[in-house]
Amino acid sequence: SPRDLWETYLPAFKTLVQKGGVKEVMCAYQRLDGDPCCGSNRLLTQILRNEWGFDGVVVSDCGAIRDFYQKGRHEVSADAPSAASKAVLSGTDVNCGKVYLNLPEAVEKGYIKEADIDVSVKRLLEGRFELGDFDPDELNDWTKIPESVVCSPEHKALALQMAREQMVLLQNKKNILPLAKDERIILMGPNAADSVMLWGIYYGKPTHSVTVKEGLEKKLGSIPYYKACALTSFNEAASKNIRKVLEYGTDDFIPEVEAEKEVYSIESILNAAKDYTTVVFVGGISPLIEREEAKVDLPGFKGGDRTSIELPQVQRDILAALHKAGKKVVFVNCSGSAVALTPETKSCDAILQAWYPGEQGGHAVADVLYGDYNPSGKLPVTFYKDDSVLKDFEDYSIKGYTYRYLETKPLFQYGFGLSYTSFRLSAPTLTPTGKKNGYKLSLDITNTGKKDGAEVVQLYMRCIDDKEGPLKTLRGYSRVELAAGSTKQVTIDVPESTFERFDPQTNTMRVVPGNYELLYGTSSDNKDLKKLKVIVE
């Protein structure tokens, strides 16, 4: 719908173009209003260039131009020359693929003029000149960066900081975390000793990746470890040795994985854990099955797409069995997207969402589990309760999805994340800036606990008059680090653009006069938010 296009799908791109100054934009595979995105004059010329002022390069997703004419795909073009000309005339400068080799024939047939092609050629040359592509190495700064700089201590420290800050503590019953260093733990799970999982997809290869096992060993010394299962079954053989059948980067990046010598079972897992009070289970999913074009079909996954958001059943069964056996269970979930963990909120004492945390991920997980780093991450996506929330895969309507339109309560709210300390927000002051409909929101935040920590104060907007609009939309935030017992003032800018919304009367995004609410707090959950009413003139 026009509302979803302008209010949900386009705003992030507009921000990146106008405020981020990106140099390249990629056009996607699908169609919008009948035109493939890479052949859409409306998207690439009217909106991107004319309205937003983008002057960089547009590159197609790989194979997207071929889809114009390939049988069974879009079939909006008769052949390769007409597809190439349609894409160039719409504003796609670079073809990831070979279809643009047909442009000379397209010119001969009168589909396109050389002057039209020159528009894209000039953009490409400007980009290559800017990169120093035609300069000798001695004049090009990029050629002078040695490996020692790429893998410098400063960059490793930055990777560790990023990994720590992305950790989101979702559950911590009876404050089981942080763990005491004399706690009798055993490490389990398919992701506990997996370094490749840490990278995500579209990665650079680190000189060394610190697994969770290595991170814990660095902190504790030798620890007992029992893998317990593969991602979706009790052993690698049963899951068809998925590493070997996936196109995962280049082959030299993928360690050869043999079938497990031992076929795991619930009985063997409980036997391994019998002498330990606490199990740290590092599971979830992995880029091996959550990725583009994976050649694997497993329960809940088909060719790299997830057909279910539930945690793989084998892991669910193991966690439940450990809980039933009286073990304290600390579950570290690794994933690139939301996982439904409703049963795990009962079987696990603590849940840490670690994502795919990069080369220093193992150190970061260990630091959080043992309290050497106080978690401060907040969920950037909604964690739904189960599969029942999901609509048909081809239903692109945002209704019923995300914190902005979800009518039912999710498992974990967007913007949610626990800490090892506690915070209190004061009543705010909303001060006009003198600019039309512009304000500054100020409040005090106090660390009322006994540990240093950081909190993220979040600001949301809702238009009371817009009955079809979002329940709320994030409009600002401030991450504040506080020593135990200290107080700081937080100020968040509230410019007029805060109140911008979709106007169905004009089919545009604009500031419409009316009654609005500003909601401020520590997550998108209504119980964590307080409201201020604002009249926009």
* H or E element in which residue 487 lies: strand 487-494
Give the Cβ contact number of residue 18 at 10 Å. Answer: 13
61 given a catalytic annotation: yes
Asked if residue 255 lies in contact with residue 196, where contact means CB atoms within 8 angstroms, the answer is yes
Catalytic residue among 4, 61, 116, 528: 61
Q: Which residue in 93, 194, 214, 290 is the catalytic one?
A: 290
Concerning whether 367 is annotated as a catalytic residue, the answer is no
Q: What's the chain's length in residues? A: 537
Cα–Cα distances in angstroms (integers) from residue 62 to residues 26, 66, 86, 306, in the given order: 10, 9, 16, 21
Of the candidates 341, 340, 348, 342, the residue with the CA atom closest to the CA atom of residue 319:
348
User: What is the DSSP-derived secondary structure letter of residue 23?
Assistant: S
Tally helices (H) and strands (E) across the chain: 14, 23
Q: Quick one: which of 173, 144, 212, 153 has its CA closest to 368?
A: 212
Neighbouring residues of 192: CB distance < 8 A, sequence distance ≥ 6: 211, 212, 213, 225, 227, 280, 281, 282
**Amino acid symbol at 123:** R
Closest CA to 462 of 397, 405, 412: 405
Is residue 169 classed as helix, strand or coil in its secondary structure? strand
How far apart CA 173 and CA 349 sit, in angstroms, is 5
Measured CA to CA, the distance from residue 366 to residue 354 in angstroms comes to: 11
Beta-bridge partner residues of 25? 58
Residues designated as active site? 61, 290
